Structure 1
């Protein structure tokens, strides 16, 4: 198993391969790094926009209203319409079809079609068919079989033998001679000319020109593809490093001061407003509303 799973051994490469590979990869890296950085920046902007704007906006503008509309309006309306359609349309139609259409149609089919058809088949068609079958057998025996046997024995068989003899000595024998002494030598000469004048030059062209050229083009294509893959990975590392540096700089210049401002200023102010302003006002309003409600109930009672 270890011998089977071992990766294939790579052949040693020469100086020419390394001399071609290194400039190609450097040039491709110079071209690919800006493209990869722009791509990563666009992907980050798209993910941020989707996470912070589009998904919450779609949730509050589409999902919640549509869910409420489906649960509160469309579902009761659909159930009511289904109940009305079932009891006002389906049940009467089923009753009408069952007792006014199906039952009379079954009775009419049975007594107006099936019974007369069975009687006609048993007492008319079967005897007539048997008579016609006997007449057909009689006519076929004495009008076709006996004359056919005589015609086959005394006319067709001798004529067929004569035609076979003529075909053998007038067609087959000359065709065999022509094939053996004309077609075969001409075909061999044409095959030798085709091999010598066409196939051998084409084989040499394929072996000594097209195959080396194809191998060179395939080598260049493989090297270009490998250079693109390596450059894309390296550009990804560079892009991630630049992104991390920008993230650290933004955190040090904006994020950390904003967090300190939120913790040291906004949070105490918010707690003060919640505990010292909002809760007393809410308690006062609730007490006033409860007092007014009790007063109104006593006045009405």
Structure 2
């Protein structure tokens, strides 16, 4: 039981009827469009369903076996040769090359490093530490003393040259630049350039204001003209032309879409009904006669053939097999007895206690009617 009130249904689907949202236009468009859509969509839907059924049938009967065969062929052509090549050619070749590299490169290189390069390196280190380092340190100390003396002499000479240059060149040049260039330039900037710049700035500000007033008037005139010539006609065209036409097109498009969807669903029901009818027709025309022929004709004939031909043949084959097995067993027993006779003739009789155990497995006796032992209990007792 619903306790809450349902929200109002969208326009065109409420209780007001089919044409509650669009009025007479919807009523005039809906039924013809649905009829035309149904007439056009039903063949397409039936063809689509037929193609889908054929595709599923081909996928089950052809696609899967062909795909499996192609997969097996691809494995046989592309995978297995490379696996065999890797397993039986590349891996042994790689192991052989690794062994050769180890024997021809690694072992000689290790021997050379251990018995040649390492002693030579130790000798060079001893030579560097015991001979070259003391010699270098002495030479460095000597060069450091010579450099210190030369640095002291150069510093004294540089200090005298700097003092002479300062009092003979820098001071006169500084005085000349100050009183001949800087003071006249400052007075020129303060007395001439500053008043001229202020006058030019005032003139520029006045020109900018005048230009702003002119541009504002021109822009206002253009805005008014654009509003009168463009905006007002565009708003009128949008309000009185495009909006009504757009609404009509929306209604038509919505009805066409709904009609196509409804026609597609109806065509689905029609396609299902036609498919069931064709399946029933195929079953009653082909399957049922074949089934009746199989049950009424082929099955009795097969039973007769089985009882009259196959079973006697099978019994004869089994009897022949038993006969052959018995003949083979008799021949085997005869050979065994002949071998025992030859052994007795050559080596004599063995004592009862020293008789060699037979190499043939002893077959346990089967269960008889007057005995209570079975093959399992006989084997356990043995």
TM over 0.5: yes
Match of 2:88 among 60, 74, 80: 80
Task: Give secondary structure in 1 for the equivalent of 2:11.
Answer: coil
Distance 2:108 2:223 in 1: 87
Task: Give secondary structure in 2 for the equivalent of 1:10.
Answer: coil
2:201: which partner in 1?
Answer: 168
> Could you tell me how far 1:242 is from its partner in structure 2?
1.0
Task: Give secondary structure in 2 for the equivalent of 1:49.
Answer: helix
Structure of higher CA gyration radius: 2
Match of 1:178 among 211, 235, 243: 211
The alignment status of 1:239 with 2:275, answered yes or no, reads no
Distance 2:39 2:107 in 1: 83
Distance 1:217 1:263 in 2: 65
Task: Give secondary structure in 2 for the equivalent of 1:215.
Answer: helix
Distance 2:101 2:182 in 1: 72
Distance 1:169 1:99 in 2: 95
> Could you tell me how far 1:219 is from its partner in structure 2?
1.6
After the TM superposition, which residues 267-286 of structure 1 pair with which residues of structure 2 at under 5 Å, given as runs? 267-270=299-302, 277=309, 284=317
Distance 2:58 2:84 in 1: 38
Distance 1:89 1:275 in 2: 71
2:65: which partner in 1?
Answer: 56
- Give the superposed CA RMSD: 4.9
Which string of whole-angstrom CA distances, capped at 9 and with x for unpartnered residues, describes residues 190-215 of structure 1? 11111112111111111111111122
1:248: which partner in 2?
Answer: 280
Q: Is the 8 A contact 2:46 2:271 kept in 1?
A: yes
After the TM superposition, which residues 181-192 of structure 1 pair with which residues of structure 2 at under 5 Å, given as runs? 181-192=213-224
After the TM superposition, which residues 86-165 of structure 1 pair with which residues of structure 2 at under 5 Å, given as runs? 86-89=94-97, 96=105, 162=194, 165=198
Moved more, 49-58 or 181-190: 49-58
1:263: which partner in 2?
Answer: 295
Structure 1-normalised TM-score?
0.64
1:133: which partner in 2?
Answer: none
Q: Which has the higher contact order (CA 8 A, sep 6+)?
A: 1
1:10: which partner in 2?
Answer: 11
Match of 1:209 among 241, 252, 257: 241
After the TM superposition, which residues 20-59 of structure 1 pair with which residues of structure 2 at under 5 Å, given as runs? 20-59=29-68
> Could you tell me how far 1:73 is from its partner in structure 2?
5.1
Label 1:195 to 1:226 Cα distance change in 2 as closer, same or farther (>3 A).
same
Distance 2:107 2:235 in 1: 84
Distance 1:261 1:152 in 2: 130
> Could you tell me how far 1:93 is from its partner in structure 2?
6.0
Distance 1:269 1:155 in 2: 135
The structure richer in helix per residue is 1
Q: Is the 8 A contact 2:26 2:251 kept in 1?
A: no
Task: Give secondary structure in 1 for the equivalent of 2:10.
Answer: coil
1:19: which partner in 2?
Answer: 28
> Could you tell me how far 1:46 is from its partner in structure 2?
2.4
Structure 2's unaligned 5+ residue stretches are: 13-19, 119-123, 125-139, 141-165, 336-382
> Could you tell me how far 1:7 is from its partner in structure 2?
7.3
